[in-house]
A = this chain, B = another copy of it.
Amino acid sequence: MPGTQARVATVAIAGLGLIGGSLAAALRESGFAARIVGWGRRDTSLRRGVELGVIDAYTLSLEEALAADIFVICTPTLVAADLLQDVLRLTLDSDRPPVITDAASVKGNLQRAALDACDGSFPAHLVLGHPIAGSERSGVDAAQADLYRDHRVILTPQAETDAAALALVRDMWLATGAEVVEMDVARHDAVLAATSHLPHVLAYALVDALARSDASEEIFRFAAGGFRDFTRIASSDPVMWRDIAIANRPALLEAIDQFSAHLGELRAAVETGDADGLHSTFTRAKAARDRFAASLAERGKGSSDAAAVGQPETAKRIQSQE
């Protein structure tokens, strides 16, 4: 917004892909920071970011990037843990460390990495976070300033987290048009395992099982709409999802086991011809899914498949404290 004073002087974005690039673009547009600087180990996407106007400048020097007010780790999930440890070692003894935050899909592994790097004591200037947004495209060329608008960002502050650091990261995401909510790390990882990581594993497992069966040619020939929707997420990036499965192992195993238990109950109902049991499970599931679709429509997403049934859920917004 022209004429409005920036909230901070500099935000550094580590890893300039879709996520980091879109955050940079959104912050530049909002005027939240006077300067957006990119950091990475190679300059290819960083030079492209400057070309596209996504960032103002870039550096290959981690120390230089850490002179920023906020340093946002936007690298792939497993890379993020190592980078976080490097960054913490470089900033722990600083008088004025940057606020460090991130955008990775899993929080528990980063929490553990942080504790390891800081001798078991969670660093006050670290605010772990996860923007729930994405696109089928990737790379800085896919960056969109509105990627986070009306999307949710989950922050997972600890008891040790500095209140001003938390407020700053919250305001940063609010400036992109996102809603910001807070949750504890374990809850975050469990919720994401249930709603995102497990469905991906199930879709991959189904497609792989069918592709390797001896009827695979006919199976794919006669598959139609329901199969298409169900397996769409099996077209996702195998590298990203391998890393998420590794990073969120405990919560994902728990989610797989809970799912398998329910599938086992359904299998037993099919085997015994328990029509009432099947009907009540399917009815309960349909009701839950219809409520979910209605709430998505209420939030302005997925309107093409919303059924106007049930109570729409209201989003819990945390407004800026300024």
Q: Chain A interface (Cβ within 8 Å of chain B)?
A: 132, 134, 151-152, 154, 183, 187, 190-192, 194-196, 198-213, 215-239, 241-242, 245-246, 249, 252-253, 256-263, 266-267, 269-271, 273, 275, 278-279, 281-286, 288-293, 295-296, 301-302, 305, 307, 313, 315
Contacts and interface: CB of A to CB of B under 8 A. Distances in A.
Given A187-B218, A196-B226, A229-B233, A238 B282 contact: yes
Contacts of A252: 270
23 contacts: A194-B210, A195-B210, A195-B222, A195-B227, A201-B263, A203-B230, A203-B285, A205-B263, A206-B262, A211-B284, A221-B313, A228-B292, A234-B285, A235-B305, A235-B307, A236-B282, A238-B279, A238-B282, A238-B285, A241-B282, A242-B275, A253-B267, A256-B270
Nearest to A224: B132
B229 A278 contact: no
A291 B68 CA distance: 46
B279 A223 contact: no
A226 to B, nearest CB: 5
A215 B242 CA distance: 25
A201 B270 CA distance: 10
Top 4 closest pairs, chain A to chain B, by CB: A238-B282, A211-B288, A207-B285, A209-B262
A245 to B, nearest CB: 5
A132 B222 contact: yes
A187 B219 CA distance: 10
Nearest to A295: B220
Contacts of A222: 132, 152, 154, 191-192, 195
Given A194-B210, A235-B293, A246 B275 contact: yes
A202 B152 contact: no
A292 B223 contact: yes
Nearest to A238: B282
Given A202-B263, A211-B288, A219-B195, A305 B270 contact: no
Nearest to A304: B228
Contacts of A217: 313
Given A271-B249, A273-B249, A293-B235, A258 B228 contact: no
A234 B194 contact: no
Given A218-B187, A289-B234, A199 B194 contact: no
Contact of A233 (B226, B234, B246, B261): B226
A237 B210 CA distance: 25
A278 to B, nearest CB: 4
Chain B CB within 10 Å — which of A195, A283, A295, A302 has the most?
A: A195
A298 to B, nearest CB: 11
Contact of A266 (B205, B215, B235, B261): B205
B227 A230 contact: no
A260 to B, nearest CB: 7
